[in-house]
Amino acid sequence: MISVLVVNLYQLQVVAHKDYQTRSKDNRTRVIPTAPNRGLIFDRNGILIAENRPAFSLQMIPEKVKDSAVALDNLAELMELDAEHIEELKERLKRHRRFKPLTVISQLDEAQVALFSVNQHRFTGFSVEAGLKRHYPYAEELTHLLGYVGRINARDTQNLELADKMGQYAATNDIGKLGIERYYEDQLHGIPGYRKEEVNNRGRIIQTIEEQAPVAGDDLYLSVDLKLQESAIELLDGRRGAVVAIDPKDGGILAMVSSPSYDPNQFVHGISGPAYRELLNSLDRPLINRATQGQYAPASTVKPHLGLAGLEHEIITENTKIWDPGWWQIPGVERRYRDWKKWGHGWVDLHHSVAESCDTYFYDLAYKMGIDKISQFMLPFGFGESTGIDIHEEYYGILPSRDWKRIKYNQPWYIGDTISIGIGQGYWTATPLQMAQSVAIIANRGERIPPHLLKESRQGDEVTEYEVEPLPPIELKDEANWDIIAKSMYLTAHRLNGSGYNLFKDSPYKAAVKSGTGQVFGIAEDAKYKAEEVDERLRDNALFVGYAPYEDPKIVVAVIVENAGWGAANAGPVAKAVMDAYLLDPNTGELK
């Protein structure tokens, strides 16, 4: 027995000495991570658009609570909490680590803090914690580009573990969920610090042994102009639609509006089930970013691009004319494809057809060119693919082709499909951002600069500018074709019969524009479209694109107003007013 005792003593004091010494030190010391302050976000003029505000939250440590379910029920009665919220907390407890704090209420007002403090003796393991919470002072005005932060959930935890980043979020409850907040999460989050403390056997702090301060996240400055953003929102006036404005010189997004929107602050503190379902089930689809996820028939806004393709493939020249009686037919086929102008435009050349949006001219051009040449030519303009914008919420739209239709529908491509593509209808869909980008390429004479929201980031006094990597430019056989098609867009705004003439005839600057009216559903060949007899959500979409000034482009604008009808009359005034707000001095009305 003595021999056994001696052997055990040797094992404990010699062989396992280091192990037990380490465990002993761990028992008397603890390391507490400290969360970094999230980086702030500003617009291009230094206006704060995402900040951190002091906030109080109620947290619990499950292992210190005798009966969590009972405690939560008692808390719900005291604080008058929603029953659905309590049930959600009970479900989260099942997969939550018992030694980690769980946020029960993310935002407490002063009355709630006082009420809990008086009754805290009844809730062992619960505590009120002070910290900083994200706040968006301009609420729904910037939701679709800023996004928001929200509580780290099971999926976020899994992603962080896969990326081996859990340690960076030891003291953090929130993570970027959408928009800029999600895309630049690594820069905004910062680096956590820690505090090493010595404690006695009762857990009381004796002294702080070591402390390392956290490093705040980078502050981001966006290319967005808040005043221009607010102007665009006011101009849409609550209608469903989108506005995108780009600086063609560097690709910076000046404004990006999706209407209707929603308040992101409710997601920061945990949106209630009923409130989220209301947003999710709304027919107006406020959760969708129409600027980057709305997929619309580009309609006549792509006629300049199709005209440029016709010039490039030498199918037409600047002076090629056709007779427009108000309709067009495929040779040998009875069906007539109607022009929007019932009695036709008469003899029209390229400039007339773009300025007056003659459908017949582009039916004929599409027929002669064919879908293969159209698809191949349009791809470099950004249709059917990502624009490269620095948010994840983007749809690619559809640039139709023979292969696409075969894969999608297992059907061959028909000539009639091509005719519809000739006026930007049929299978062709694009986002407002893609439309704006394609016009920026025309304004830049083939130079392709990906659009972006970030202008620069700052860490203390260190400034890092966003580096734009231009894509290979579009090179034409004849570079003069850029000027020809730009002239067509110029005449659209400044020719007497141009669809944008009434908007720009008295403008102090020259512009190059194109309107469009996109069908939402097809009608029979001989049927007549009457907006007043059609369900409001099935009426035509109004579109308008353009850039200004014509000689030295500084802004490209794309506007869509859903189910509003004629593009020049309903989307055009919005685009013109956005250009005015950016280019003109509000006091003198002259160019800045």
Which residues are known binding-site members?
324, 339, 345, 358
Q: What is the DSSP letter of 152?
A: -
The annotated binding site for Zn(2+) is made up of 324, 339, 345, 358
Q: Which residue among 223, 300, 420, 515 is the active-site one?
A: 300
**In the chain, what is the greatest distance between 2 CA atoms, to the nearest angstrom?**
117
For the stretch 581-584, contacts whose Cβ atoms lie closer than 8 Å and that sit 24 or more positions apart, written own/partner, are 581/227, 581/228, 581/231, 582/225, 582/228, 582/245, 582/254, 582/554, 582/555, 583/509, 583/548, 583/549, 583/554, 583/555, 584/508, 584/509
Distance CA 323, CA 443 (A): 30
Angle separating helix axes 83-94 and 273-281, nearest 10 degrees = 100
Token digits of residue 200: 């006695």
Beta strands in 76-160 (DSSP E): 102-108, 126-135, 149-151
Structure tokens at 129: 């914690």
- Say how far apart CA 489 and CA 513 lie, in whole Å: 5
The answer to whether 493 touches 503, Cβ cutoff 8 Å, is yes
Residue the block writes with tokens 């502050």? 219
d(CA 37, CA 211): 17
* Structure token digits, residue 247: 């600086």
Would you call 258 a catalytic residue per the annotation?
Answer: no
Token pair in block for residue 461: 């006094």
Distance CA 125, CA 121 (A): 10
Task: Indicate which residues carry an active-site annotation.
Answer: 300
